[in-house]
Amino acid sequence: MIVCGDMIDAKFGTALGLTTLAAAGLGNWVSDVVGLSLGDAIERAASKLGLSNGGLSPAQEKMSSAKLTTLVAKIIGISLGCFAGMIPLLFLTPAKKEFTKQDLEVFDHIFGKSGVTMEQFGDLMDMGRRHKRPEGHVLVQAGTYQKKAILLLNGEAA
């Protein structure tokens, strides 16, 4: 589920406008479909190994203790499967950059119009730093050489 959701997020998320949670939901759906499909194969393999359903009679299967045991076994099985499915989280690195709403507004109004790609913009944002300055603060003295570019998002240049 995790691997599938991450792949959906990285490959199709931006193109289809999917949120990270939507990609996770689709990954969960794929995981559920695969799990249901494999359920029968697992039951047949267990039967070939000599494992049985316990040989309970229909009357025994209706007993509350048998139902409780079945429920607890399913909960344990699902929980172990979920924890095993999260193991890839230990090895995955994010393939998709996350942007704040303000970052996206800056991209749309300034960089996107100039032909800058989202990947290039993401690299620029990774290299830059944000600073908030009080009103009246001087960022650059007139006539002073600067080794870096300053993007003024709010305020005025005097």
pLDDT above 70: percentage of residues in the chain: 96
Of the candidates 11, 8, 50, 51, the residue with the CA atom closest to the CA atom of residue 27: 8
Token pair recorded at residue 119: 């990947």
Distances (CA, A) of 102 to 58, 67, 106, 108, 117: 63, 54, 6, 10, 17
pLDDT-derived band at 147, boundaries 50, 70, 90 = confident
d(CA 121, CA 112): 9
> Is the pLDDT score of 4 beyond 80?
no
Where do we find the tokens 């697992």? 42
Distances (CA, A) of 139 to 103, 128, 130, 131, 151: 21, 16, 13, 10, 11
- Most confident among 15-19, 71-75, 90-94 (mean pLDDT): 71-75
3-state secondary structure of 76: helix
Neighbouring residues of 154: CB distance < 8 A, sequence distance ≥ 6:
none
Are 2 and 86 a contacting pair, CB within 8 Å? Answer: yes
Where do we find the tokens 């909960």? 75
pLDDT at res. 96: 66
Q: What is the largest CA-CA distance in the chain?
A: 93
- Most confident among 27-36, 96-105, 115-124 (mean pLDDT): 115-124
**pTM for this one?**
0.46
